[in-house]
Structure 1
Amino acid sequence: MSWFIKKRQQKTAVEERTVRVPEGLWVKCDACRELIYRAELANTRNVCPKCGYHFRIGVAERLESVMDPGYEERFGELQSGDPLAFSAAKPYADQLRKLKGLGHDHDAVLVVEGTLKGHPVVMGVMDWDFLAASMGSVVGEKLRLGAELALAKGCAFIIVSCSGGARMQEGALSLMQMAKVSAALARLDSAGLPYLSILTDPTTGGVSASYAMLGDLNIAEPKALIGFAGPRVIEQTIKQTLPEGFQRSEFLQSHGMVDKVVPRDRLRDFVATALDWMTEPHG
């Protein structure tokens, strides 16, 4: 009866083939949650091609997208100290040394002098990767000096803001920078020189409460978070539900706090057009 018995054939092991995708090839959009090929982002200035979400970009990329080639850094010798000997889970001095070792020699803002479509300008660009672009003594001093340089050169001053607010490790010294930079901007205003403020995601705290909102023209990137305190803190304080899109660029524009929301790929042309109008004599 052996022909009724089914012989079991020995299965040969099939070697599993796994395709390893190198890390960093894909990025998930924080807005639409779609996966985006990183190389595709490079062609769109780090703007999601599916929903238009603006990813944060570094200082170098920001300058290259707006300024003409040949700009030069100013006041790079200024470095943060530890005036309060601030010590916590992560001592302030150790954080500064680590960041300097990673190549962040310009503290949380880089100030350059150059041209933008032929217009002479002084520009300060805040660096989110340096302690969330918090405003410390060096940030305030660099921006003050930048405003003074623009005053001496008779040109426009531009600040690209992106900040979590004042730097708590420097206490009241950080808060003093709000008044110092604002006073320097007032001198520009008295001289009739334009100051343009470009607000990117996020611009909050003491930065939004001072120089970020003092521009002759306040320009914001789409859907950037702009405000003093965060939405959750405000809701908990006033015990009310906030409107949809509260503290986003478009909401602020509709309520007169922002003059224009400009996509990143049009920012350079828009600023150049604004400078054409602001620096040309009008009879």
Structure 2
Amino acid sequence: MNWITNVVRPKIRSILRRETPENLWIKCPDSGQLVFYKDVESNQFVIPGSNYHMRMGAVARLKSVFDNETWFDVALPEVAVDPLKFRDERKYVDRLKDARAKTGLNDSVKVGFGRLEGSPTVVVVQDFDFMGGSLGMAAGEAIIKGLELAVEKKSPCIVFAASGGARMQEGILSLMQLPRTTVAVQMLREARLPYIVVLTNPTTGGVTASYAMLGDVQIAEPGALIGFAGARVIEQTIREKLPEGFQRAEYLKDHGMVDMVVHRHQLRSTLARLCRLLMKTPAVENSGRNAAIAAAAPAS
């Protein structure tokens, strides 16, 4: 009897048991409802019932922007992996390995070049899943590369910001990316090319003190947390209770810090319209777009 109970039954259960993926269901942080992951994915990671905007990975974001979900990955400069030999509870190099395995990215920023409703466009995306989208040397070089490519191709540059700030494991080398990216934005401005920033949830810290708040047009996704210091730190400093919705996209729009708050489903068409207006170019028909993309490919 013990043999049947302890050996046979567990084996039968293991054969019949189905493995359930960990991300089969998503719980909405706003309403608490459980939503099938595939439904959220097909809805551009917006919860269907509550319209809550979930975080979006770099690859998914690029797919949602470019025509036919097609673009060219821009080769990014290599940097020193661990210049300060930093270690806290774990080695910095080990944290990087885990982040790369989790996201499939080399660092927190990915750059793509392709067509947005027919117009050649450079898109720079920060992925919050890679160490909180933190800004280190590799991320700074990637952003600068995207801005330089926009100048070279005479095209607009769109940046999707999502970050907790500078990367502490790189110390002053991380903080130096703030002025470096600011200078690169100025270079694009001197070339009289559009620089559009989309602030996603969250965009905080040193990123908001540099390239993320320098756009010709500042767009935010609904409900995005945007600010430099945290609300608790501000309350402790000024010894006052902050207003409801402070540092959220809608609050910043009402107070002139953001030009518009755009739902993710309307974001692509809004960006395309802005690029056409700022570049003074007409809309391009669907026919022949693939050939146009190939002709606009960056040199290897």
TM-score with structure 1 setting the length: 0.88
1:116 aligns with 2:116: yes
Bigger radius of gyration among the two: 1
Provide, for residues 242-282 of structure 1, a one-character-per-residue CA deviation record: whole Å limited to 9, x for no partner.
Answer: 00000000000011110010011110000001111111079
1:80–1:107: 8 Å Cα contact kept in structure 2?
no
Provide, for residues 92-136 of structure 1, a one-character-per-residue CA deviation record: whole Å limited to 9, x for no partner.
Answer: 011122333445333010011111111111111001111101000
Residue in structure 2 matched with residue 237 of structure 1 by the alignment: 237
1:120–1:155: 8 Å Cα contact kept in structure 2?
yes
- The separation in 2 between residues aligned to 1:270 and 1:103, in whole angstroms, is 28
Structure 1 window deviating more from structure 2 (27-36 vs 165-174): it is: 27-36
Identity across the alignment (%)? 46
Instruction: Show structure 1 runs of 5+ residues with no match.
Output: 1-17
1:211 aligns with 2:211: yes
Structure 2 CA distance for partners of 1:135 and 1:20, relative to 1, 3 Å? closer
Given residue 60 of structure 1, which amino acid in structure 2 is its aligned partner? V
2:63–2:70: 8 Å Cα contact kept in structure 1?
no
Deviation at 1:20, TM superposition (A): 9.9
Deviation at 1:26, TM superposition (A): 2.4
Q: Count how many residue pairs are aligned between Structure 1 and Structure 2.
A: 265
Structure 2 CA distance for partners of 1:32 and 1:116, relative to 1, 3 Å? same
Q: Which has the higher contact order (CA 8 A, sep 6+)?
A: 2
Secondary structure of 2:250 counterpart:
helix
Residue in structure 1 matched with residue 99 of structure 2 by the alignment: 99
TM-score with structure 2 setting the length: 0.84
Structure 2 CA distance for partners of 1:92 and 1:273, relative to 1, 3 Å? same
Instruction: Show structure 2 runs of 5+ residues with no match.
Output: 1-16, 283-300
Residue in structure 1 matched with residue 33 of structure 2 by the alignment: 34
- The separation in 1 between residues aligned to 2:181 and 2:58, in whole angstroms, is 20
Given residue 134 of structure 2, which amino acid in structure 1 is its aligned partner? S
Runs of 4+ that moved beyond 6 A: 18-22
Report the RMSD for the aligned CA atoms in angstroms: 2.0
- Higher normalized helix content (fraction of residues): 2
Residue in structure 2 matched with residue 174 of structure 1 by the alignment: 174
Provide, for residues 127-159 of structure 1, a one-character-per-residue CA deviation record: whole Å limited to 9, x for no partner.
Answer: 111110100011111111111111111110111
2:220–2:262: 8 Å Cα contact kept in structure 1?
yes
Provide, for residues 154-188 of structure 1, a one-character-per-residue CA deviation record: whole Å limited to 9, x for no partner.
Answer: 11011100000000000011111011011011011
